């Protein structure tokens, strides 16, 4: 089973919908793939949490008693409400426009509406940026961050390009460590030609990684070197992953 | 003639005949070994015009050519140790995966494929080691990836999405850039040459960080600008409808007029 197939089956596995054979194959893959294993663990914990929360919320301990209490509270509040007196402009400077229980001024209401609009826009944009944008956009065609995006970064709501690059770098390195271990187990079985070819190609990639790492030490803001390092590490990961299948 | 001379003559001719027979036997033995060292595989599938070929090889060459027939013809020469090969026709996609079919086998010989497909097919081929050649394909997609080393040669291509990638080796593209098409060429070490019509229209990002050798030839114009101390060229040719991204980490990039 490959990672793609495994990740498709995570949901069905957590729900117990897989056949015995599929479940066995799924577990075998999890035992050798850290990435999928972690994903399955996360997914299971989310589903578990949701189930617990839903169970607590949906079935109150005694629903009839709860409704009785709510009714009592409402009735007591109605009884205790003093008769409404005619209000003058001096007593209440401005009454809320919704009902007597609210006392927002139009300015406050407008500010609230504006705040809600801004927050929901922020959430939408951040969500879109984080989840909808393709990760492997074509190098060089990426648009410059807009002023709004820069503000989001300043506010700490969105990831800065440097943080994003650093996160990607860390992800790549941990994936490379994983695949290196897989390859070191497999390579003893390869024929000499395959081993020699693999090493030659790995040398070329490692040289590039070293070169860009040095360049970035001199100039950490060098975008082309950052991009090339990222792409060389990606190549390394791909080479390791594809040869680990042999 | 004496008896002794007869005997000598007879023995001499017998020795010659024996030697001849041995030589003949040895020749046939070698021929048989040669035949056994490789096996030929051949299969033909009826195909629609928009068939997709998805071929993953371990080691060996893949040659794909477009032709004016509604069939896909696959021929493979398998070197010893003979690889398992089980092509599948999955609702319009012909899938051959030598890597998957031979998983767990330590030694598998080269498999050299020659495939003929309808012109308008989509091609998705990859190999771990070996050369890839695709010619006369006008379908939606041409993807040719080599995990490690080998040359990629794409000629007479009219696909709207092309991706060619290797680690060590040359990439040669000879074809057109379709409006709104996406073209991506990536090599770690080798030469990347793109031969396209002069009237092509595309946005270009070409990056050669080590050599800084980016030759635009006839496509050089005022909109092209070198950035990052000459390591990258960004610009537009014509209205810039296609998107072209070329990266060669340790080699040169050349645009040639077709």
Residue, of B32 and B237, whose pLDDT is higher: B237
Is A183 touching B (CB cutoff 8 A)? no
Distance CA B80, CA B147 (A): 22
Half-sphere exposure of B155 (CA within 13 A, CB side): 8
Mean pLDDT of B170-186: 95
- The token pair that represents B191 in the structure block: 């030469």
Answer positive or negative: Cα dihedral of B71, B72, B78, B82: negative
Residue, of B22 and B165, whose pLDDT is higher: B165
Task: Answer whether A204 sits within 8 Å of B189, measured CB to CB.
Answer: yes
Task: Answer whether A201 sits within 8 Å of B167, measured CB to CB.
Answer: yes
Distance CA A226, CA A232 (A): 10
Is A189 touching B (CB cutoff 8 A)? yes
**Chain B residues inside the 8 Å CB shell of A141:** 203, 205, 243, 245
**DSSP code of B149?**
B
In Å, what is the CA distance from B188 to each residue of A234, B132, B210? 12, 16, 10
Distance CA B8, CA B18 (A): 15
- In chain B, where the domains are located: 38-169, 178-258
**Chain B residues inside the 8 Å CB shell of A201:** 148-149, 167-168, 188
Torsion from C-alpha of B146, B148, B149, B150, nearest 10 degrees: -10
3-state secondary structure string across A125-175: HHHHHHHHCCCCCCCCCCCCCCHHHHHHHHHCCCCCHHHHHHHHHHHHHHH
Task: Answer whether A141 sits within 8 Å of B203, measured CB to CB.
Answer: yes
3-state secondary structure string across A18-65: CCHHHHHHHHHHHHHCHHHHHHHHHHHHHHHHHHHHHHHHHCCCCHHH
- Best of B81, B107, B150, B167 to substitute, by most chain A Cβ atoms within 10 angstroms, is B167
Mean pLDDT of B93-100: 94
As a whole-number percent, the residues of chain B with pLDDT over 70 amount to 86
Of the listed ranges A27-36, A131-140, B78-87, B186-195, the least confidently predicted one is: A131-140
Contacts of B199 (CB under 8 A, 6+ apart): B238
The pLDDT-based confidence of A144 (bands split at 50, 70, 90) is low
pLDDT for residue A62 is more than 70:
no
The three-point CA angle B44-B50-B54 to 5° equals 60
Task: Answer whether B210 sits within 8 Å of A194, measured CB to CB.
Answer: no
**Chain A residues inside the 8 Å CB shell of B209:** 212, 224-225, 228
Alpha-carbon gap: B228 to the closest alpha carbon of chain A (Å): 7
**DSSP code of A81?**
P
For chain A, the average pLDDT equals 75
Q: Do residues A176 and A236 lie in contact, with contact meaning Cβ atoms separated by under 8 Å?
A: yes
Task: Answer whether B128 sits within 8 Å of A242, measured CB to CB.
Answer: yes
**Chain A residues inside the 8 Å CB shell of B59:** 193-194
Is A211 touching B (CB cutoff 8 A)? yes
Q: What is the pLDDT of residue A139?
A: 45
Model pTM?
0.65
Task: Answer whether A232 sits within 8 Å of B188, measured CB to CB.
Answer: yes
pLDDT digit string (tens) for B50-61?
899 999 999 999
Alpha-carbon gap: B107 to the closest alpha carbon of chain A (Å): 6
Mean pLDDT of A180-197: 87
Q: What is the pLDDT of residue A128?
A: 60
Out of B147, B203, B205, closest to residue A239 by CB: B147
Q: Torsions phi, psi of A126, nearest 5? A: -65, -45
Mean pLDDT of B101-106: 86
Q: Do residues B162 and B134 lie in contact, with contact meaning Cβ atoms separated by under 8 Å?
A: no
Out of A191, A200, A228, closest to residue B209 by CB: A228
The pLDDT-based confidence of B152 (bands split at 50, 70, 90) is very high
- The token pair that represents B162 in the structure block: 């092309």
Give the nearest chain A residue to B206 (CA atoms).
A140
Distance CA B188, CA A143 (A): 25
Out of A140, A198, A205, closest to residue B234 by CB: A140
Is A61 touching B (CB cutoff 8 A)? no
Alpha-carbon gap: B93 to the closest alpha carbon of chain A (Å): 19
- The token pair that represents A39 in the structure block: 């994903």
Q: Do residues B218 and B198 lie in contact, with contact meaning Cβ atoms separated by under 8 Å?
A: yes
For chain B, the average pLDDT equals 88
Half-sphere exposure of B190 (CA within 13 A, CB side): 26
**Chain B residues inside the 8 Å CB shell of A231:** 186, 247, 249
Out of B148, B231, B245, closest to residue A224 by CB: B231
The pLDDT-based confidence of B90 (bands split at 50, 70, 90) is confident
pLDDT for residue B18 is more than 90:
no
pLDDT for residue A234 is more than 70:
yes
Contacts of B160 (CB under 8 A, 6+ apart): B140, B141, B178, B180, B181, B182
The bridge status of strand B111-118 relative to strand B71-79 is antiparallel
**Chain A residues inside the 8 Å CB shell of B148:** 197-198, 200-201, 239, 243
Residue, of A148 and A229, whose pLDDT is higher: A229
pLDDT for residue B122 is more than 60:
yes
Give the nearest chain A residue to B169 (CA atoms).
A201
Q: What is the pLDDT of residue A132?
A: 45
Q: What is the pLDDT of residue B150?
A: 95
Q: At what angle do helices A147-155 and A106-127 cross, to 10 degrees?
A: 100
A-to-B residue pairs, Cβ atoms closer than 8 angstroms: 87
Q: What is the pLDDT of residue A89?
A: 45
């Amino acid at each position: 089973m490959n990672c793609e197939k495994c990740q498709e089956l995570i949901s069905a596995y957590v729900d117990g919908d897989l056949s015995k054979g599929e479940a066995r194959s799924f577990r075998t893959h999890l035992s050798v793939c850290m990435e999928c294993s972690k994903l399955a663990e996360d997914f299971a914990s989310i589903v578990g949490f949701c189930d617990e929360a839903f169970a607590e919320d949906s079935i109150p301990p005694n629903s009839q008693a709860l409704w009785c209490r709510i009714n009592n509270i409402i009735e007591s509040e109605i009884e205790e409400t003093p008769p409404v007196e005619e209000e003058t402009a001096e007593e209440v400077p401005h009454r809320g426009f919704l009902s007597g229980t609210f006392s927002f001024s139009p300015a406050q209401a407008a500010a609230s509406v504006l705040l809600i609009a801004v927050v929901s826009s922020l959430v939408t944009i951040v969500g879109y940026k984080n989840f909808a944008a393709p990760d492997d956009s074509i190098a060089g065609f990426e648009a410059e961050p807009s002023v709004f995006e820069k503000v989001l970064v300043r506010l700490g709501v969105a990831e800065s390009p440097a943080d994003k690059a650093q996160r990607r770098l860390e992800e790549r390195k941990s994936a490379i460590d994983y695949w290196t271990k897989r390859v070191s187990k497999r390579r003893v079985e390869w024929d000499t030609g395959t081993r020699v070819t693999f090493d030659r190609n790995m040398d070329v990639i490692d040289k590039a990684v070293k070169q860009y790492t040095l360049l970035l030490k001199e100039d950490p803001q060098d975008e082309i070197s950052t991009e090339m390092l990222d792409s060389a590490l990606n190549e390394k990961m791909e080479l390791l992953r594809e040869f680990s299948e042999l | 003639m004496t008896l002794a001379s007869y005997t000598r003559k007879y023995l001499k001719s017998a020795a010659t005949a024996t030697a001849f027979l041995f030589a003949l036997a040895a020749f046939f033995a070698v021929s048989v070994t040669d035949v056994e060292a490789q096996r030929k595989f051949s299969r033909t599938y009826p195909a629609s015009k928009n068939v997709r070929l998805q071929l993953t090889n371990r080691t060996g060459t893949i040659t794909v050519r477009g032709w004016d027939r509604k069939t896909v013809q696959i021929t493979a020469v398998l070197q010893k140790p003979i690889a398992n090969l089980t092509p599948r026709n999955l609702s319009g996609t012909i899938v051959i995966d030598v890597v998957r079919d031979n998983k767990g086998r330590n030694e598998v010989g080269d498999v050299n494929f020659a495939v003929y497909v309808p012109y308008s097919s989509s091609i998705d081929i990859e190999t771990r080691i070996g050369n890839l050649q695709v010619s006369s394909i006008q379908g939606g997609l041409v993807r040719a990836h080599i995990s490690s080393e080998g040359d990629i040669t794409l000629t007479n291509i009219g696909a709207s999405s092309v991706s060619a990638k290797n680690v060590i080796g040359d990439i040669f593209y000879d074809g057109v850039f379709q409006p709104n098409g996406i073209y991506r060429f990536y090599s770690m070490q080798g030469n990347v040459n793109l031969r396209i019509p002069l009237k092509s229209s595309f946005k270009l990002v070409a990056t050669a960080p080590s050599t800084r050798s980016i030759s635009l030839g006839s496509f050089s114009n005022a909109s092209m600008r070198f950035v990052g101390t000459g390591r990258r060229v960004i610009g537009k040719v014509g209205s810039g409808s296609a998107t072209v991204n070329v990266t060669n980490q340790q080699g040169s990039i050349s645009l040639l007029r077709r």
